[in-house]
Amino acid sequence: MKTFDIWTLVDYLPTRMPLERDTIQTILGAVLRETDSNEFTAFFEGGPVLLKNDVEIESIDLRVNRERASRRLLVLKFAGKCVTKAEVFGRNQGLELTDHPRGRSLDEETSWSVKQSWGQLSFGFSERNPDCLRTVVFKTD
């Protein structure tokens, strides 16, 4: 298994679309356990995974739509060394505000997203620590 830094990983994952459970396990070196399932969606979770520069993926959440095989949602939740908002905006042009906290919890996030040919890439910053990246979301159409 290759150890990635966060930006190499963010660039690499979209080249492996659609994101399959086995593919993610191979790339990240983490086991994804099926945690729930219904007639519409299969849910998988895994982690933690240590990336380069002491950045940690605290948890991996993959959701696979059973009705539309190409539809996937992958959420990577980060911990460890802070990846700053300035770093995120410096590396990703065209980000637009797509979600904001509603005052229910310090864990709610402000999300900034950009459309890609494969779907949408989003970066979330929690109210608890608003300058540090908390989530990266890959959402395919």
Domain assignment present for residue 1? The answer is no
Cα separation of 99 and 17, whole Å?
Answer: 24
pLDDT above 80: residue 120: yes
Q: Which domain holds residue 33?
A: 6-140
List, for residues 54-87, the tens digit of each pLDDT value.
999 999 999 999 888 778 999 999 999 999 999 9
Residues 18-31 have pLDDT tens digits of 899 999 999 999 99
The whole-number pLDDT of residue 2 equals 58
Strands (E), the chain: 33-37, 41-46, 49-50, 55-65, 72-80, 96-99, 109-116, 119-126, 133-140
* Domain contains 40: yes
Work out how many domains the chain is built from and give that number. 1
